[in-house]
Chain A
Amino acid sequence: MSNLIKDNALVADEWTRVIPPSLGDEVVKKQAGKVVLFKLTGEPTYSPAQIAATQIPATGKVLLPLTVWQANVEQLASRMAAGEIGILIATHEPLDSLAATFADINELPLIAVFVERFPDGRIFTIGNLLRTRYGFKNELRAVGDVLRDQLFFLKRSGFSSYLIRADRSAEDALASLKDFSQPYQGAVDDALPVWRRVDRA
């Protein structure tokens, strides 16, 4: 069974995530002897060589890193038109470049946000901005280090599907979507703060 939660249920994953190959030339950044865990906003994710070496399956729905799509726009135009292309961005990639790539962001049936480490809370702001600022209406998926204890926040930040990390039970994780029944503040899933939602007087 897939580890994908969508619309509060476990569903099969129709999308194949395309990951550029590791060419062994990645630089590990260190600071004071420690490996730097988070990439700064704006840092590149893949080298041009990695992007060039990426194999894209010939058929089916594929989830591509934004930079891979940008290098293959013409070849994949018909598949985009057929709704077979979804775009993946990492939490350190600027949303402006995603928005600038598409005349209408709602051409995309799926945007996925990759969170390499779950404590990286940029994913919540990205979800929020994609929904409220860029007007994205289709499936918004969290992928990567996605764990049940962040699901409630992801849901409130505009995500609609969650690919739970492979070694964890997505079935157990479903319960966490309902951790709180009446949150205080307005967010993406319900723009109204509690005092505009219910009569508290």
Chain B
Amino acid sequence: MLKLTENQSPSPQLRTQQVVTRVLAEVLPPTETIREVLQSLLTTEGWEFAAYWEPDTDQEFLRCSLTQAQGNDWDRHRLRLQASAPRRGEELVGQAWSRMAPLGETLKTNPATFPDRFAAQVPDGAWAWAFPVAHANEVLGIIEGLSSAPPSDTAGPFWTELGQVLGRYLSRRQVSGDSAGLVTELERRLQDRSEALNEATRELESFSYSVSHDLRSPLRAIDGFSQALVEDFAAQLPEEARRDLDIIRAETRRMGQLIDDLLTFSRLSRAPFNPQPVDMTGLAQSALGEATRAHPERAQFVRLPALPPAHGDAALLRQVWFQLLTNALKFSGRQNPPAILIRAETRGPQVVYSVRDNGVGFDMQYAHKLFGVFQRLHRAEEFPGTGVGLAITQRIIHRHGGKIWAEAAANQGATFFFTVNPGSPS
């Protein structure tokens, strides 16, 4: 046996280095990378034959997983290689494994251990090589080759270096290969989930379609025929009967309003969501204009300073301002004078926007009901409404990843706070 420190021209090694570098840069599947490396050893080092051996899972013996050869003369050897399983220390490859070092020998230097698989094929004086592909003291494989050229004096360090470069590369690929598998699995699960979600959304759409179409039409009949009754039989109807019919019609319209609000609420989750930088001052002003359209003089009770911008969907955030301002105007309508204050406060990375009024407020023990659909904290005769507005508002804020909450006391006004974007983890 011979440690490889003989003298030779470095140029084949340089070529090998260049080719291997190029192969590694291509990021092929590991098997392809090794095949390419073996192939480049045939061309740059002039090897006749190259094989890659891998330890079995119990690290007991080696199995030949890949071979490359010049010409077809090696086919028979390939089969013999694939049938053999040298243990640690057996044959050249087994010794390179147990020593974790490159080895080379010729028939002449050591006929006893020269792999007899090659004996029939090779001329006297041919060299057999084996070097480990290793990373962090773990042997991933052994590269074996046969060359008729004599070794160079830098062959030992060169094979060591090449084995380490390949080992490092392959172990890294293994890790990223594992995580690639994990990512594929996660993607598959995510796809399953989103298909289930799409299915649920489709069901919801057909549901709200039915609500939109089928629930409204009987209401129209109730309202219409009540009106027809009043028109056609006005003379026969006592005053009390007319009052009752008025109630029927008012309730019918209220139910129509409830259905419309519920639809608006359910459509929110399907509405397109286009987050972008949003001028919150402009948005609040425009919402205020709409909220006071019926009573423009009431806008004077609202103080709206300049607000920091937010990042979100402008159309949806405008609905938030509209709802909060409408509520503030409604519940402070009986104060003399009403006072509504819009503010924005920076708390750490967050901007907290708020709308405060001096209206009737509410008892904080009912605060958990505020954002529920059809939940109302005031009697309908006191303050009209369907109880959907704040549910819509909360859904919009949640869709942005923000939070909404309220502080209030009965007869001492209410303040609604919201953030638009997710807060810091702290």
Q: Do A and B bind each other?
A: no
B contact set with A: CB distance below 8 Å:
none
A contact set with B: CB distance below 8 Å:
none
